Amino acid sequence: MSWLEILILFPFITSFSLLIISFTEAQKKLVALWGALVPLPISLFAWVGLDHANFQLQNIICYSVLPGTNSEVVLGLDGLSAPLVSLTCFLCPLCILAGWQVIRVGVTEYLVSWLLLEGLLVAVFTTFDLLVFYILFEATLIPIFVMIGIWGSRLRKVKAAYQLFLYTLFGSVFMLLALLLIFAQVGSFDYGVLIASNFSIERQLLLFLSFFLAFGIKIPMVPIHLWLPEAHVEAPTGGSVILAGILLKLGGYGFLRYTLPLFSEAVLFYTPLVHTVSLLGILYASFTTLRQIDMKKAIAYSSIAHIGVVTLGIFSGNLMGLVGSCVLILGHGVVSPGLFLCIGVLYDRYKTRLVRYYGGLAQVMPLFSAVFLFFSIANLGLPGTANFVGEFLCFSGCFQSNNSAAVLACSGMISSAAYSLWLFCRISFGTLKTVSFLQVADLNRREFFMFAPLVFITLWVGFYPKPVISLLFVPLSCILELGF
Amino acid sequence: MFPFSVHSRFSYFSFFSNDLVSLLPEIFLVCCICLFLVHGVVFSKTGRILSTNVANLSILALVFVCILLCCSPGGNYLAAYSCFFEDDFIRIIKVFLLLTCIFCVTLSLFYIQLEKSNTFEYSVLLLISLFGIIAVLGANDFLSLYLGLELQALSFYTLAANVRVSEFATEAGLKYFVIGAVASGFYLFGASLLYGFTGCVRFSDFSLLLSHIAPAEVEGIFLAFFIFFSSFLFKVGAVPFHAWVPDVYEGTSLNVTAIFALLPKLALFGVITRLLFCYFFSLFDVWQFPFVLCAVFSFVWGSLAALGQGRIKRLLAYGGISHSGYLLFGVCSGTVYGAQGVVIYLLSYILSGVTIFCSLVGLRFSRVRYIADFAGLSLFSPGVAFAIAASLLSAAGIPPVVGFFGKLSIFLSALAGSLYVGALFGVLCSVISTFYYLRILRTIFFENGSRPLGAFFSFFGSYFSKELSFLVGFCAVLLFWIPINPRILFFISFYSSIGLIG
> Does B23 have pLDDT greater than 90?
no
Instruction: Of A390-404, B58-72, B421-435, B487-501, give the lowest mean pLDDT range.
Output: B487-501
Task: Give the model's pLDDT for residue A390.
Answer: 92
- Domain borders along chain A are 3-483
Residue B259 lies in a domain: yes
Q: Which residue has the higher pLDDT, A484 or B477?
A: B477
Stretch B416-422: mean pLDDT, rounded? 89
Work out the burial of residue A22: count CB atoms within 10 Å of its CB; fewer than 13 is exposed, 13-18 middle, 19 or more buried. exposed
Residue contact B438–A142, C-beta within 8 A: no
CB-closest option in B416, B435, B445 to A166: B435
The pLDDT tens digits of the residues spanning A271-307 come to 999 999 999 999 999 999 988 889 999 999 999 999 9
The pLDDT tens digits of the residues spanning A115-131 come to 999 999 999 999 888 88
Residue B8 lies in a domain: no
> Does B11 have pLDDT greater than 70?
no
Residue contact B412–A157, C-beta within 8 A: no
Residue B262 lies in a domain: yes
Stretch A18-37: mean pLDDT, rounded? 89
Question: How would residue B458 be classed by pLDDT, with cut points 50, 70 and 90?
Answer: very low
Residue B9 lies in a domain: no
C-beta atoms surrounding B502 within 10 Å: 10
Residue contact B427–A158, C-beta within 8 A: no
Instruction: Of A65-74, A263-272, A422-431, give the lowest mean pLDDT range.
Output: A65-74
Question: How would residue B451 be classed by pLDDT, with cut points 50, 70 and 90?
Answer: low
Residue contact B431–A170, C-beta within 8 A: yes
∠ at Cα A340 (A334, A343), nearest 5°? 145
Residue B408 lies in a domain: yes
Task: Give the model's pLDDT for residue A64.
Answer: 67
Residue B6 lies in a domain: no
C-beta atoms surrounding B60 within 10 Å: 11
Question: How would residue A108 be classed by pLDDT, with cut points 50, 70 and 90?
Answer: confident
CA separation for the pair B70, B135 (Å, rounded): 17
Helix and strand numbers, DSSP H then E, in chain A:
24, 2
The pLDDT tens digits of the residues spanning A411-459 come to 888 888 888 998 999 888 888 876 666 667 888 888 899 999 999 999 9
Tell me the shortest Cα–Cα distance from A45 to chain B, in angstroms: 27
Mean pLDDT, chain B, whole residue set: 85
CA separation for the pair B395, A245 (Å, rounded): 31
CB A161 within 8 A of CB A145: yes
Residue B4 lies in a domain: no
Task: Give the model's pLDDT for residue B243.
Answer: 86
Nearest chain A Cα to B390, which residue? A142
The pLDDT tens digits of the residues spanning A29-64 come to 999 999 999 999 999 888 888 877 666 677 677 776
Q: Which residues of A make CB contacts under 8 Å with B?
A: 65-67, 109, 131, 134-139, 141-142, 146, 149-150, 157-158, 161-162, 165-166, 169-170, 173-174, 176-177, 180-181, 183-184
Highest-pLDDT range among A98-112, A152-166, A237-251: A237-251
Helix, strand, coil % over all residues of chain A, rounded to 5:
75, 5, 20
Is the alpha carbon torsion for A227, A231, A232, A238 positive or negative? negative
Mean pLDDT, chain A, whole residue set: 88
**Domain around B315:** 14-501
- SS3 assignment, position B311: strand
Q: Do the strands A72-77 and B77-79 form a parallel or antiparallel pair, or are they unpaired?
A: unpaired
Nearest of A355, A372, A380 to residue A430 by alpha carbon: A355
CB A403 within 8 A of CB A389: no
Stretch B345-371: mean pLDDT, rounded? 87
Q: Domains in chain B: how many in total?
A: 1
Task: Give the model's pLDDT for residue B462.
Answer: 52
CA separation for the pair A257, A234 (Å, rounded): 31
Stretch A385-398: mean pLDDT, rounded? 92
Stretch B320-340: mean pLDDT, rounded? 91
- What lies within 8 Å, CB to CB, of B22 at 6+ separation is B72, B73, B77, B79, B86
The alpha-helical segments, DSSP class H, found in A351-402 are 361-364, 366-379, 386-401
CB-closest option in A142, A149, A180 to B442: A149
CA separation for the pair B209, A114 (Å, rounded): 62
Quick one: what percent of chain A has pLDDT higher than 90?
A: 43
- SS3 assignment, position B86: strand
Question: How would residue A1 be classed by pLDDT, with cut points 50, 70 and 90?
Answer: low
CA separation for the pair B19, B21 (Å, rounded): 5
Residue contact B427–A174, C-beta within 8 A: yes
Quick one: what percent of chain B has pLDDT higher than 70?
A: 93
Stretch B399-423: mean pLDDT, rounded? 90
Task: Give the model's pLDDT for residue B127.
Answer: 93
Task: Give the model's pLDDT for residue A374.
Answer: 94
CB B16 within 8 A of CB B23: no
Q: Which residues of B make CB contacts under 8 Å with A?
A: 382, 393, 398-400, 404, 408, 411-412, 415-416, 423-424, 427-428, 430-431, 434-435, 438, 442, 445-446, 483, 486-487, 490-491, 494
Backbone angles phi, psi at A475, to 5 degrees: -60, -35
Nearest of B447, B484, B433 to residue B371 by alpha carbon: B447
Nearest chain B Cα to A185, which residue? B416
Work out the burial of residue B189: count CB atoms within 10 Å of its CB; fewer than 13 is exposed, 13-18 middle, 19 or more buried. middle
**Total CB pairs under 8 A between chain A and B:** 75
Stretch B296-312: mean pLDDT, rounded? 91
Question: How would residue B81 be classed by pLDDT, with cut points 50, 70 and 90?
Answer: confident
Task: Give the model's pLDDT for residue B356.
Answer: 92
Task: Give the model's pLDDT for residue B5.
Answer: 44
Number of residues that make up chain B: 502
- SS3 assignment, position A186: helix
> Does B450 have pLDDT greater than 60?
no
> Does B7 have pLDDT greater than 50?
no
The alpha-helical segments, DSSP class H, found in B363-501 are 377-380, 382-396, 403-416, 420-446, 453-460, 466-484, 487-501
> Does B227 have pLDDT greater than 80?
yes
Stretch B421-426: mean pLDDT, rounded? 92
Task: Give the model's pLDDT for residue B400.
Answer: 84
- DSSP per position, B156-225: HHHHHT-STT-HHHHHHHHHHHHHHHHHHHHHHHHHHHHHHHH---BHHHHHHHHHHS-GGGSTTHHHHH
CB-closest option in B411, B416, B446 to A158: B446
